[in-house]
Chain A
Amino acid sequence: MADRWQPVCDIQHLRLRAQMLANIRRFFADRDVLEVETPLLCRATGTDPQLDFFSTSLHTPPHNPTLFLQTSPEFAMKRLLAAGSGSIYQICKAFRNGESGRSHNPEFTILEWYRIGFNLQQLMDEVAELLQFLLAPTFKALSVSRISYWQLFHDITGLDALTFERQDYQRYTVSCGFSEAITLCGDEHALWLDFIFSHCVQPAMEKQTLFLVHGYPAIQSSLARIHPGDPRVAERFEAFINGMELGNGFFELVDPLEQEARFDREIAHRRARGLVVVEKDELLLDALRHGLPDCSGVALGLDRLLMIAGGCRTIDEILAFPLANA
């Protein structure tokens, strides 16, 4: 057993990280995308009921306002976009409380970028180019599969992801040996999708292939626009390699009213579930009211990308000091 002061990852992996950061900066410099920095410590945070955050308070008596460690740089970056920054990218730390596991560390590194005027298709192209470039030493030619969520889900499970047929979902999960899904998921379509996707679909994805899964069900739209031609799907995609989720991309929601309505829905959901109630980010809403240009944005987990590049089974193997040694 190594001493606890020592780094967990190989020194070789530190080099791999440094090389990847340099390559990312080169990639975006060549495309005239501006590198930016936004605060890690913020006055507001996301309302997503699935994300737990770290909070602290600023010591300025008599008022000690609460501050949050960001769960992603999305809101601040959108404020820059609304202010006319043009296309931007950022490499930063993000923090998600309680997320610890084989591919999760509560503090992790995100690469997030926004492209003015790009539709989702164009952004997916760019994600594929970037990943092929960054992973070139690992995969001679990383093959890319673009597939809709509905199609992938159907190919692997035979189920229709957009229509909730509880009986069918139940029969399928029981046949896979996951009878506990029935009590865990109940009548919540989104929960069934999360369960089946993570337990059955992801492990069945072909290895050594970048999957760009698009057309997520609208009930999982997050901050993406709803598809104008099909209200059942959102303009959102996710990237996977070896069945591991690498990131999320959206054709960004720019409508301040719709954004506020989603905030309110999530806050109500948090309240109903007894979670910490957070306030919506008024500064983001102000920026949207001012006007966010049409754009697409994506965030990738850099540590997971490094896991793939380094052939690591756990995120700890790629971090100098994972939580247990931090």
Chain B
Amino acid sequence: MATYSTNEFKGGLKIMLDNDPCSIIENEFVKPGKGQAFNRVRIRNLKTGRVIERTFKSGDTVEGADVVDREMQYLYSDGEFWHFMVPDTFEQYQADKNAVSEAIKWLKEQDVCTMTLWNDSPLSVTPPNFVELAITETDPGLKGDTSGGGGKPATLESGAVVRVPLFVQIGEVIKVDTRTGEYVSRVKD
């Protein structure tokens, strides 16, 4: 794998830090007029999701991390692993609980998502920002109430539970923002 000098640091660069793959969020160049230059870097650990700060001496090099994002289709779960496929090549990957984490609650079979691979192994799964899913369970709403004030919990076909307006019924398809977990709108056929 390539090595990178601090001069090449920028947002999005994937490097190895403490044996974990990380992604640089922000790189700040710190240099006294008469003194040593440093790079103060905010980094996300791609395994744990934690954000840390770390300083490097400018000019130092670090090992790059072989991390790539690929579009994949979610196929099925066998109870232990979740199986995904690259649509163009039919390559299949199995991801464990750590990798699919919270993302899986937004995915139903056949849905497309982004999988992050580290050394060709699944590291994490990111659902699309917006998903459209049918409601499988929710309390009957009040007829005629279209204000949406208050709201109620609804279970979606993928397993996620979101708050929806009172007028939304079982069987309806809704659009949800997966970054916030919030209801956006009903989807009309």
A residues lining the B interface (CB < 8 Å): 48, 50, 98-102, 104, 177-178, 180-181, 184, 190-191, 193-195, 197-199, 220, 222, 238, 245, 247-248, 301
Q: Classify chain B's interface size.
A: 20 to 34
Judged by DSSP, the binding face of A is: mixed
Judged by DSSP, the binding face of B is: strand
* Central interface residue in B27, B29, B32, B40, by most chain A CB within 10 Å: B32
Q: Is the CB of A195 within 8 A of B34?
A: no
Q: Is the CB of A104 within 8 A of B29?
A: yes
Q: Is the CB of A199 within 8 A of B35?
A: no
Cβ-closest chain A residue relative to B39: A101
Q: Is the CB of A184 within 8 A of B31?
A: no
Q: How far is the CB of A119 from chain B (nearest CB, A)?
A: 20
Residue interface bits B16-57, CB-to-A below 8 A is 1, else 0 = 000000000001111111111110100000000000011111
Please report the C-alpha to C-alpha distance between residue A100 and residue B53 in the assembled complex, in whole angstroms: 19
Q: Is the CB of A248 within 8 A of B28?
A: no
Given A181-B55, A199-B40, A199-B55, the answer on whether A99 and B29 have CB atoms closer than 8 Å is yes
Q: Is the CB of A247 within 8 A of B58?
A: no
Q: How far is the CB of A226 from chain B (nearest CB, A)?
A: 15
- Give the chain B neighbours of A238 by CB distance below 8 A: 33
Please report the C-alpha to C-alpha distance between residue A278 and residue B29 in the assembled complex, in whole angstroms: 25
The 8 Å CB contact of A50, one of B28, B36, B54, is: B36
Please report the C-alpha to C-alpha distance between residue A104 and residue B40 in the assembled complex, in whole angstroms: 14
The 10 closest A-B pairs by CB, nearest first: A101-B29, A194-B35, A194-B36, A222-B34, A198-B30, A248-B33, A184-B57, A191-B36, A180-B55, A104-B29
- Give the chain B neighbours of A220 by CB distance below 8 A: 34-35
- Give the chain B neighbours of A100 by CB distance below 8 A: 29
- B77 close to A (CB within 8 Å): no
